[in-house]
């Protein structure tokens, strides 16, 4: 992103970090068996 000013990068950084952390947490929960087809059905 050579044409992106630093303030634009800082503005998007929290959103990017949030998405990455959310994705890792979701993947970890599914891998641990906390979330899945059975859990989704029991949750309604």
pLDDT, position 20 = 95
For residue 22, the model assigns a pLDDT of 94
Question: What is the three-class DSSP state of 35?
Answer: coil
**DSSP 8-state secondary structure symbol assigned to residue 2:** T
Ramachandran region, residue 28 (left: φ > 0; alpha: ψ -120 to 50; beta: rest): alpha
Q: What is the pTM of this model?
A: 0.49
pLDDT reported for residue 6 = 79
| pLDDT tens digit sequence for 15-43 | 999 999 999 988 888 887 776 666 556 65
Give the pLDDT score at 23: 92
What is the per-residue pLDDT for 7?
Answer: 82
Q: How far apart, in Å, are the Cα atoms of 12 and each of 2, 7, 28, 29, 34?
A: 15, 9, 24, 26, 31
State the alpha helices, DSSP H only, in 1-44. 6-32, 37-43
């Amino acid at each position: 992103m050579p044409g992106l000013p630093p303030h634009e990068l800082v503005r998007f950084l929290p959103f990017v970090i949030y998405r990455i952390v959310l994705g890792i947490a979701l993947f970890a929960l599914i891998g641990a068996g906390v979330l899945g087809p059975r859990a989704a059905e029991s949750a309604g």
